[in-house]
Structure 1
Amino acid sequence: MTIFLGCGFAAKYREGGGNFSVPLQWMLGLRRLKLDAIWLELLLATDDVTADQARIRHFQSQLRAHGLAGRYCLLYQKPANDVHDFASIDCIGISKRDLLDRLAGPNVLLNLSYSIHPPLLLQFERRIFCDLDPSEIFYWMTKMEMGQSYHDEFWTIGLNVDGDDCQLPKSSLRWKTFYPLVDTKFFAPQPRPRSPKFTTVGQWYWGGAVEVAGEFPDLSKKFAFEPYLNLPARAPEARFELAMNIAAEDSERERLRQLGWRIVDPHRVARTARAYRRYLAGALAEFTAIKGVDVAWHTGWISDRAAAFLASGRPVITEDTGAQNYLPDENGFRFVRSAADAEAAVREVLRDWSRLSKQGRQCAVEVFDSVKNLRRILDF
């Protein structure tokens, strides 16, 4: 049986090591399970053929770096289209003939965030929708086709999807839950770093949108971090850093610097999955805020990045989306609702890092490990 991992967001963003790391955790887990797995990556052609070829080469080099050179099929579609048809797709990696032969036999598609669309999608025997962003996926499923008509099973990292307090848009689908995957062999515990650095990695601005009470709230990290921007002044014994995409000429850089935040370029410090791993290991802990709709709707969302921090033995300070109820009591997280809560959590991490580090690692192994979650989803 072939297990296909459907993805459409890794190859196109070649500077994003954290982005590439997401499907990588799935593939490493499938390899640990000794399954016949193929990474099926969709890359839509742009008007810049040279840039497209650079993306393809970078994607291939990253796969080689992780021993996956013979374990992928990059579907290069030209011209770009939401309809994924073999007639407009070139196969890079395994051949189209090999792909068709595998599709003719027993197979499963793990379709991350509806990356693979019909009619290609309909060629797979067992089609599993794997939702990585419940607030936006659930909302847009009420407005348009997002794969709800074409899959056999639906899985989400919205851990609180069935909770009484969950306010996600109502869905007629039967959702099952899984935890964000981290390969606990790839992300191993590391010694305490010398610097008391609290950091996170991401996009400062965000173009996604969901409607809440007739309005479209700001879902950016910029907006989410506002209540916490005085944290460096509140806890001067710690160091606060953001690996965020903020242009050099953007006035936000100076505003954040004056408030005590150091800004680094994620395309430099986390350009590959291994660089991303090193960057996380160089921190004492993660501190991050979450887009408000996940907090307000109590989706139960947790980031894959948080799981990677925990697996590295780094505690995580973040806002609660309702996920706390689905974790062990000792989990390495400190969930906060205010700057005062965050300050107290930072001081606790500084004071009691070893205990929280061990709890986080244990939680990652018990809860977030890729093998455990893949067994759950695949029912193997």
Structure 2
Amino acid sequence: MKGKRKGKVVVLHLAARYPFAGVIWQLIHHLLALRQIGFDVYYIEDHRSYVYDPTIESGTGDPSRNLKVLNGVLERYGFGDRWAFLDSAKEEYVGMSRARCMELFRDADMVVNLCGSTEPREEHERNRCLVYLETDPGVMQLELARKIPTTVAFAKAHKLFFTYCYNIGAPDCLLPSGGVKWHPTRPPVNLDEWHPGIGAAEPRAFTTVGTWQNNGNDMVIAGETYYWSKHLNFRKALEVAARANQPIEIATNLSGGPDYERAIAGGFTITPVVPMSLDIDAYREYISGSRGEFTVAKDIYVRPRTGWFSDRTVCYLAAGRPVVTQRTGFEKFIPTGVGLMGFDTPDEAVDAIKQINADYFRHARAAREIAVEYFDAVKLLDEIAVAAGI
């Protein structure tokens, strides 16, 4: 990046709708990097959906609790007067005024529809460069290929398309392009927020964080079903902890049943994901205090060879914590073998953990180096700015 860029950028997202630490960090990594690049940055959340209240485990028309959490984070990072939320129940904007939001949509040099969180309306389409930034590839590509009218209309509203399906267009990737010119990208992490060495020098347990089983968004390609959940792949690896003689903890919402019993019998520890996952500092401390991450990926990313990579995993890497994760095709683009270990089988996972434990500090240093080289938010968001011509 040569010098500072100029102009206004608006980010659309769903951090109030789903106020989990991982979701909020995803937003913060983008906001901070865009500001570091030199842009005048704003956050607007106007998807018109009810929010999820994790304290009652249900959707609600009252966003006040979630907005209090989000406002505290945004104020902390200097965006306290630069955000707005459309309360769809009251048809009122919280934070910046409706008039200010409309002005920003009209005048911004770029509006980033992060996660495709917002169905574009006239005010969004008015912008000169509405960017679709996809973090969960699969459904969009298939529906475009099948010419689903609502998806085609959604796509037409955007000027540029970015995706974490880094392998799209390659012969071994099963996802179609759907007639769209995709720009592959990776999940960004703000390196200043994740410092190597926080917590114990050589922590005891590998960990991961996430929902055990997701429902919906399964895909059918050439008659084969690919599942939008990673519990199916975790089931294949529930003896890895015992076989590697390595404590592994999963912070998740699994509290009983056959999967739980198998995980415990296989040497895993299961811990509640809430309340840790509702606080960005507790979430960061949990990751930074881990020995590393052991995880699998959703079936829809693995078998179709998408090249997808996790925005949670990049936080482990940035914190200098080695990662053992299931291959999705990302290994074609990101070096593995030191700091980042890919696996296809439980045997490979066990071997990867043993390799890390045999020379832990070498792998820890390499993890941070991979984050710096491949996932630096400033580099990745600047690439988007270049493509947008701003």
* TM-score using structure 2 length: 0.88
Deviations 1:283-338 (A, max 9, x none): 11111111123121111100111111110001111111111121246762101011
2:64 aligned to which of 53, 58, 77:
53
User: Are 2:38 and 1:34 aligned?
Assistant: yes
Give the Å deviation of 1:48: 7.4
1:195–1:239 CA contact under 8 A, matched in 2: no
> 1:168 — aligned with what?
175
Q: Distance in 2 between matches of 1:110 and 1:130?
A: 7
Give the Å deviation of 1:356: 1.4
Q: Distance in 2 between matches of 1:185 and 1:370?
A: 10
> 1:81 — aligned with what?
none
Q: Distance in 2 between matches of 1:216 and 1:240?
A: 30
Read off the aligned partner of 1:278 and give its amino acid letter. E
User: Are 2:8 and 1:11 aligned?
Assistant: no
2:167–2:306 CA contact under 8 A, matched in 1: yes
User: Are 2:295 and 1:291 aligned?
Assistant: no
Give the Å deviation of 1:249: 5.3
Q: Distance in 1 between matches of 2:229 and 2:122?
A: 34
Give the Å deviation of 1:269: 2.1
1:245 aligned to which of 248, 253, 257:
253
Q: Distance in 1 between matches of 2:371 and 2:40?
A: 25
Give the Å deviation of 1:215: 4.7
Give 1:123-142 correspondences, 5 Å limit: 123-142=126-145
Q: Distance in 1 between matches of 2:69 and 2:108?
A: 31
Read off the aligned partner of 1:5 and give its amino acid letter. V
User: Are 2:237 and 1:228 aligned?
Assistant: yes
> 1:74 — aligned with what?
85
Give the Å deviation of 1:212: 3.2
2:207–2:250 CA contact under 8 A, matched in 1: yes
Give the Å deviation of 1:98: 1.6
Give the Å deviation of 1:90: 2.0
Structure 1, unaligned runs of 5 or more: 79-87
Give the Å deviation of 1:116: 2.1
Read off the aligned partner of 1:327 and give its amino acid letter. I
> 2:308 — aligned with what?
301
2:95 aligned to which of 73, 93, 96:
93
Give the Å deviation of 1:184: 0.5
Deviations 1:335-354 (A, max 9, x none): 10111100110011111121
SS at match of 2:357: helix
1:272 aligned to which of 275, 279, 282:
279
Q: Distance in 2 between matches of 1:193 and 1:225?
A: 28
Read off the aligned partner of 1:68 and give its amino acid letter. F
1:219 aligned to which of 223, 228, 231:
228
Query: What is the percentage of aligned positions where both structures have the same residue?
Result: 26
Q: Distance in 2 between matches of 1:249 and 1:281?
A: 27
RMSD of aligned alpha carbons: 2.2
> 2:54 — aligned with what?
none
How many correspondences in the alignment?
A: 367
> 1:83 — aligned with what?
none
SS at match of 1:378: helix
> 2:73 — aligned with what?
62
Change (3 A) 1:112 1:29: same
Read off the aligned partner of 1:232 and give its amino acid letter. A
User: Are 2:165 and 1:158 aligned?
Assistant: yes
Structure 2, unaligned runs of 5 or more: 1-6, 52-57
Q: Distance in 2 between matches of 1:222 and 1:114?
A: 24
Give the Å deviation of 1:195: 3.2
* TM-score using structure 1 length: 0.90
1:18–1:272 CA contact under 8 A, matched in 2: no
